[in-house]
Structure 1
């Protein structure tokens, strides 16, 4: 599937075939594609909790208002972010870059984020959002569907996955083989409202 089609056809699917399983090769391909997502300073804040345990899935479903996709999708990821990733050996994010790029960008990371807690969290969430979209479009291009989710008890989910300190949950993402198509797209705001020329 080409990129334009994947963008237009991607939907938040609610009903998945519970018998379908991803092959290890498909899962690896999906994760390799997700890793291609851009992030500020290449920090890659995202940490994906791959929930394969059925009992844990059932608990997560209970924490997500009994939404069926939590247990029925082939894959379920709790997408978390390491808010302090900017301060954790940042040179490793640039290990394959030319030395001149490393010398400029790596020393810039600490002063850019240090002492700016809101920016640290915002940046981590932005990175997670870009990665989530990359993952959803990749799944669609592979012939699968997905459902990004925030309709759950964040505190309960954090407890169930033993979320570390200084981490946050961005969303859950269900991926699998849909049983029925999503309803038609609900509508778009007009471009005249969406696009502001130069300034408000």
Structure 2
């Protein structure tokens, strides 16, 4: 599917065919595309949980206030991020660059992130958002539908998936063949209301 067609047709689908599936090849193609998403300093601090256990799905559905797509969709992916990835073996993020580049980037990375908890969180959430859009557009390009979800009890979900210390949950995404199309777009603001040049 053409990129702009995928953008136009991508919708937050709430109703999935419970008998539908996503082939393993398609799933891997989507996730490998996600891994090409940009991150600050190339730290790739996203962590993805693919929930395949039906019992865990039911627990997550309860934490998501009973939303049907959690158990009906072929796939459920939880987008998380390691806020401390900047300090965990950072040399690997530039392993394929010259030593001179690494000598510059490693101190820059530490100076940028060290002691800045809010920045660490902000960057993690930004990266989850970018990865999510890559996932949803890649899925749509292959003919699948998705729904980004923030409607859940964060603490309950963290407990269910055993979220490690220093990590956060960005969102969940359901993925699979839709049972029915999304409702028409509720109302798009015009570009001239949203786009300014140089200043507000």
Alignment TM-score > 0.5, same fold: yes
Q: Deviations over 1:59-114 (max 9, x none)?
A: 11111111111001111011111011111111111112344433332321001111
Matched, 1:51 2:29: no
What pairs with 1:133-144 in structure 2 (closer than 5 Å)?
133-144=133-144
Q: Determine the C-alpha separation between the residues in 1 that align with 2:105 and 2:148.
A: 33
TM-score by length of 1: 0.96
Q: Determine the C-alpha separation between the residues in 2 that align with 1:52 and 1:43.
A: 27
SS of residue paired to 1:112: helix
Alpha-carbon offset, residue 189 of structure 1: 1.8
1:84 is aligned to: 84
SS of residue paired to 2:96: coil
Alpha-carbon offset, residue 191 of structure 1: 2.0
1:107 is aligned to: 107
2:2 is aligned to: 2
Q: Deviations over 1:7-61 (max 9, x none)?
A: 1110000011111222221221111111010111111111011110000101111
Q: Determine the C-alpha separation between the residues in 2 that align with 1:17 and 1:98.
A: 50
What pairs with 1:1-200 in structure 2 (closer than 5 Å)?
1-200=1-200
Q: Determine the C-alpha separation between the residues in 2 that align with 1:97 and 1:179.
A: 47
**Unmatched segments (≥5 aa) in structure 1:** none
Alpha-carbon offset, residue 182 of structure 1: 0.5
**Length, aligned pairs only:** 200
Q: Determine the C-alpha separation between the residues in 1 that align with 2:191 and 2:161.
A: 41
TM-score by length of 2: 0.96
SS of residue paired to 2:184: coil
**Unmatched segments (≥5 aa) in structure 2:** none
Q: Determine the C-alpha separation between the residues in 1 that align with 2:114 and 2:139.
A: 36
